[in-house]
Structure 1
């Protein structure tokens, strides 16, 4: 252990103590591509960056599987500098790229999986990205989306276009969103086969067999606040049932799609998860989990720093300042 890491661990013990006042940092990752993808955002975490993250985290934090960490949090026995690692959606590179890095450092993680896209599916955001990646045109007429003519003549233009399209369709009703993405594919890349980016059933089984936690994340990734409660119930219940068939037991932890409290889910969805048998859930509100917090609205943090020391310092800052995360409130 270096002098720097010793000092960081000492600082971390002060800002993220254990015991009854313990704080749990929960990290969020999505895709972990093998190399930098020019069409993904600047804050992407590729394999090299993820490896740096895990080395720094293993050195400076006490990493616990999320279910175990939550048990310690409830009992007031959390170690100092406690941290859990999570992934959303079910991308195949979580298995092929991230898993070997996790294992190298002896780390466990939780994978929140959308069952409807396993095997040969493609999530709507990736339909947008991959259709533009394959597009050979210089511009696309997307007047039907209210976007007019969008330039797509190079990678920078395609990245800007993908963000504009995503912002336009993300909050559409599910059927409209799927129809818009399918139409975009037919316009931008009609002769291209869709790539396989999501995990297979067998990979999910193997993650569970290797001690990783599998959590629910809906079947089709609807923004829960944009669908009626009955549809949300059916989608969440189907996801839980299908994942149980793969791993042999029902998942106990859930991640809200998109995950922003109030905007993406409400207190009625918190109550719904309890009715369906879940024991806890995570949002994407930034903050740190504490004993007094809502177990169905656990905050998380999304790291993207290239420099490992800066990453650790940002995580400590979040632990110090993130004690009152945003939550969706309502009658109990």
Structure 2
């Protein structure tokens, strides 16, 4: 950690170079993608990558006008965790018309049995945001589309702004930070949108590598340096609201660990506790078995063979990653390492069709057709 932090006052090292870009119009560059996704030739070419099923990953559903101010200011690193209610409604209408929409348990059972039909679609949400109940559920009901919501139980219990949103707010409102961490004095300039993006792209992976106690301490230092008031923003469901969501026949509840930590950074005992504690709390709250898991962050750096093995040992029927790809026939033997397609704020309908067609995976993750 220290070698990476030492460069925080200057240019970040190569592995931490900013990967975010200035926000673009949601329709930017999408017309040709939509045309390709609908063309007969490209559909045939991409069909092997589309596989049997597409598992969509959402986080939040927001009101239709939300995000416009963030787009205008040019710094909104978490914006793509949201999809507007209008866009989600259009996406679910398209999915209901053109795909075989299944609940996750149905899809897993059919995948394991070798009977999952092509053009199947599964909808999932991560974390447990309140808008999954208030905005997403009515739309899912309108189109009769099932969904699975993976709950990070610690976020439900805290019912406040998680660190990745607070980090964005602190950076957005400050011109810079001066903190002492790991025996070093660190300075981050956040004077303009570019500097804010660079700072977020350095601090975000740092925080992912920390345990929950370190995250709390580090965020406290940032708050103290920024001198900004701390807002308790109740973005997550409480116990009663979670029970209400779980009672709907369209909804399956899954575990998303307790503290939403990068599991690859944890020692074996802590790793098992993060998963089992989430599972046990949910089963106690909902009085039903919890058989499905989503790994926090879920990329190759955050969930791999060790984490898959623990999920199997703990008896989960399935577990999803954030690795890009579609369900293929070979995934019947890899039910604890399933890929998903993330949908975000800037995914207009043309991009949505592009992502479902298999073309997106063919271009961005060509080996996903053969490997987990």
TM range (shorter): 0.7 to 0.9
Partner of 2:272: 233
Secondary structure of the residue aligned to 1:126 is: helix
Residue 13 to residue 285, structure 1, CA distance change in 2 (3 Å): same
Superposition map of 1:99-110 within 5 A: 99-110=137-148
Residue 153 to residue 103, structure 1, CA distance change in 2 (3 Å): farther
Contact 1:287 1:325 in 2 (8 A): no
Distance 2:81 2:273 in 1: 32
| Structure 2: unaligned runs, 5 residues or longer | 1-33, 71-75
> What's the TM-score, normalizing by structure 1?
0.83
Contact 2:124 2:149 in 1 (8 A): yes
Superposed CA RMSD in Å reads: 3.0
> What's the TM-score, normalizing by structure 2?
0.75
Distance 2:347 2:325 in 1: 21
Partner of 1:311: 352
Secondary structure of the residue aligned to 2:93 is: helix
Partner of 2:340: 300
Residue 255 to residue 157, structure 1, CA distance change in 2 (3 Å): same
Distance 1:63 1:14 in 2: 23
| Selected match of 2:260 from 221, 235, 243 | 221
| Selected match of 2:175 from 117, 120, 138 | 138
Partner of 1:84: 122
Kindly indicate whether residue 277 of structure 2 is the aligned counterpart of residue 246 of structure 1: no
Question: Which is richer in helix?
Answer: 2
Post-superposition shift, 1:258? 0.8
Contact 1:252 1:278 in 2 (8 A): yes
Kindly indicate whether residue 318 of structure 2 is the aligned counterpart of residue 280 of structure 1: yes
Aligned length: 316
Superposition map of 1:1-332 within 5 A: 23-34=52-63, 35-36=66-67, 38=70, 39-41=76-78, 43-47=80-84, 48-119=86-157, 120-133=159-172, 135=173, 137-142=174-179, 144=181, 148-153=186-191, 158-211=196-249, 212-261=251-300, 263-293=301-331, 294-304=334-344, 306-317=347-358, 318=360, 322-326=368-372
Contact 1:57 1:312 in 2 (8 A): no
User: Relative contact order (C-alpha < 8 Å, sep 6+): which is higher?
Assistant: 2
Post-superposition shift, 1:182? 2.5
Contact 1:24 1:289 in 2 (8 A): yes
| Structure 1: unaligned runs, 5 residues or longer | 327-332
